[in-house]
Amino acid sequence: MTNNVICQTRDLVENSGVCALINNEQVALFYLPNTEQKIFAVGNWDPFGKANVMSRGLIGSIGDELVVFSPLYKQRFSLATGQCLDEDAALPTYNVAIENDDVVLVS
């Protein structure tokens, strides 16, 4: 198992998102230090707004599901699965983790 370092934890913003370029794909990284998983990664492309903006969306919960709200038209996407809760669409998800001070892509 080889882990690629994406960035450091200090590049992240607590309870909010930033964007990283991983193999030329835009990935939204959300840092939720008070959750078990701590870090979530989904595609940055908003399939409804058709722009790279998901990392700039607001984080919240619907029932027990952690979600990100599109900053353009407010659709909700599950952070864990990428599934959209409002319409039939999904964001790709990525397997990322925090190791010491590094944010790594688990492959």
Of the pair 54, 82, the CB lying nearest other proteins is at 54
Residues 9 to 28 in contact with other proteins, rule: CB under 8 A: 11-16, 18-21, 26
Tokens of 73: 């038209």
Q: Is 69 a residue that touches other proteins (CB under 8 A)?
A: yes
Count of alpha carbons within 13 angstroms of residue 8, beta-carbon side: 3
Number of residues near other proteins (by CB under 8 A) = 34
Bridge-based pairing of strands 25-31 and 93-94 is unpaired
Burial of 90 (0-12, 13-18, 19+ CB in 10 A): middle
Interaction site with other proteins (CB under 8 A): 6-7, 11-16, 18-21, 26, 29, 45, 49-53, 56-63, 66-67, 69, 71-72, 74
